[in-house]
Amino acid sequence: MEMDKLVSLCKRRGFLFQSSEIYGGLNGFWDYGPLGVELKRNIKEAWWRDMVTGHDDIEAPPGAPEAYEMCGLDCTIIMHPQVWKVSGHYDLFVDKMVDCTESKKRYRYDQVPGRWVEAKGQKVFVTTLAEANHEQEIEARALKFFNLRAKDAADLAWQGGLVSLAKIDPAEYVKALAPEAKALGTLTAPRDFNLMFKTIVGALGTEEDAAFLRPETAQGIFVNFKNVLDSSRVRVPFGIAQMGKSFRNEITPRNFTFRSREFEQMEIEFFCHPSSSLQWYQYWRDRRFRWYTDMGLSGERLQLREHHQEELSHYSRGTADIEYAFPFLPAGEYGELEGIAHRGDFDLRSHMEGKLDPNSKPELKVELGEDGKPKWKGSGKDLTYRDDITNERYTPHVIEPSAGADRATLAFLCEAYHEDQAPDDKGEMQTRVVMKLHPRIAPIKAAVFPLVKKDGMPEVAQKIYRELKKRWNVFYDEKGAVGRRYRRQDEAGTPYCITVDGQTLQDQTVTVRDRDTLKQWRVKVEEVTAELAGRLS
Ligand code: GAP
């Protein structure tokens, strides 16, 4: 599937629009249109239902060490600034960026791929920003730089494969051809760039009033751990879920909504006893992977990638990413949909004692400032847990399945896009664009049409529409040829179309059409709700 086709369908049919488009748009910000908002809401509601409200607190689900409880939170986007100092975001939530003095553009250095090439006695690192066909783009730029024609491509002596700028020693940048530059050596040395958006709280507007838009929803859960324990009867093991907006000032937002500056997360912090934390990690990793396949992502494009030991912080006993082969990525590459991390007691201890140094070994120690005192002070509140049966007191370990609602929505859209051949009103085969969305997340569950706008058909169709509307988001359409109406619903991903025709007036039956198989069958008018309920469940 070509990404351009999906992007154009999303705009044409109202799934996604560029934010503030009439003013030229704002890079890294996206709006969901009438169909997109329903799709994303359905995805978030499915997650909340499956992880929180629909979770059985009494029986252990398959693969879980024991039964556990789940509850939810909805915290503010702006929190006490100390939260981000203690969590490490203030010091460490940085990307390395480089500036180009010629183009005046700024890049995240690990997202600039390039290749070493030699010609005419000169060695150059040629880079590109192309999202696909990197190698071709780099060759075209190298030919241009060395003033060679395409037929002289053999004069280019390539040295090694594609590597990111992050792997190049900054001392060698003098030999780098930046992505949008004509001259060599225009890149500055890499610098840290904090991704948190800063804002000012209150009317004084001084630096002391600076606060941050949250870059993740997780911290709201950690700082409310004690409130949840004190106000509900949950016992460890239990999980707290939260979904909501997060903000990151990404240096290079790109790939449609994949890397945005404002996005929504769906996060769980699961608190458990240290001795069973590895089993819980394995349970959540598999449980979350299954959720995506249950919702219609195919096993072929989805993978669970366990991080290597050397990628882990030493306090973590495992991290895995659920990744999807998005069509905008080069063949064989995957983009992260969700990370599942074993975080040990890092977060709760940091909020008790002060920012811990993630590299301190073997025990995590509070990071000290130049004065020998904690660099960033914790809350000083007791966030340990006392088991009222065993009387043991300990700091629970945390397993964190952290998903992105926008990335999930994008993956479901990519997976759903299909083109096939279907007959039009005259029986001629035409290319049909159909969004094969899982019925649970489809924005519209069914469309109701009168075949023609006369002979009492609209009245019967409207009655069915009103009946169905009591339970689902359904759509009524009486305008234009019925074939065209079917096509519009195929593009919207509507699983079923119900048509009132001449026969309805004689035997009170309607046709039901299946979006994917194109099969049609007749159902009694009074049984349409039950038919749909059976198929949508
Ligand atoms: N609390 C852990 C955490 O935030 P993360 O891997 O940085 O971990 C979790 O983010 C998820 O949030 C990612 O897997 C992704 O789905 C989503 N996400 C992160 N940055 C994003 C961005 N710039 N645009 C869209 N989604 C993003």
CB 127 near ligand 1, within 6 Å = no
Cβ-in-10-Å burial (0-12, 13-18, 19+) of 357 comes to middle
Q: How far is the CA of 409 from the centre of ligand 1 (A)?
A: 13
Top-confidence range, 128-142, 306-320, 443-457 = 443-457
CB 402 near ligand 1, within 6 Å = yes
pLDDT at 135: 85
Query: What's the distance, Cα to Cα, between the start and end of the chain in Å?
Result: 29
Alpha carbon 356 to chain centroid distance?
Answer: 29
Q: Above 70 in pLDDT, residue 314?
A: yes
Q: How far is the CA of 402 from the centre of ligand 1 (A)?
A: 7
Going by pLDDT thresholds of 50, 70 and 90, the confidence category of residue 242 is very high
CB contact set of 54 (below 8 Å; sequence gap of 6+): none
CB 218 near ligand 1, within 6 Å = yes
CA distance 334 to 255: 13
pLDDT at 132: 66
Q: Above 90 in pLDDT, residue 131?
A: no
Q: Which atom of ligand 1 is nearest to the CA of 218?
A: 1
CB 490 near ligand 1, within 6 Å = no
Q: Which atom of ligand 1 is nearest to the CA of 404?
A: 16
Going by pLDDT thresholds of 50, 70 and 90, the confidence category of residue 19 is very high
User: Are 236 and 272 within 8 A, CB to CB?
Assistant: yes
Q: How far is the CA of 272 from the centre of ligand 1 (A)?
A: 23
Q: Which atom of ligand 1 is nearest to the CA of 267?
A: 1
CA distance 163 to 54: 46
Q: Which residues of 17-46 are buried (b: 16+ CB within 10 A; e: fewer)?
A: eebeeeeeeeebebebbebbebbbbbbbeb
CB 267 near ligand 1, within 6 Å = yes
User: Are 353 and 363 within 8 A, CB to CB?
Assistant: no
CB contact set of 428 (below 8 Å; sequence gap of 6+): none
Sign of CA dihedral 157, 159, 164, 167: negative
Q: What is the DSSP letter of 513?
A: E
Q: Which atom of ligand 1 is nearest to the CA of 265?
A: 12
pLDDT at 316: 87
CB 409 near ligand 1, within 6 Å = no
User: If you average pLDDT over every residue of the chain, what do you get?
Assistant: 95
Q: Which atom of ligand 1 is nearest to the CA of 338?
A: 14
What is the average per-residue pLDDT within 329-351?
A: 95
What is the average per-residue pLDDT within 156-174?
A: 95
Q: Above 90 in pLDDT, residue 317?
A: no
The SS3 call for residue 142 is helix
Ligand 1 pocket check: which of 407, 412, 413 to mutate, most ligand atoms within 8 Å of Cβ? 407
Atom 10 in ligand 1: which residue has the minimum CA distance? 402
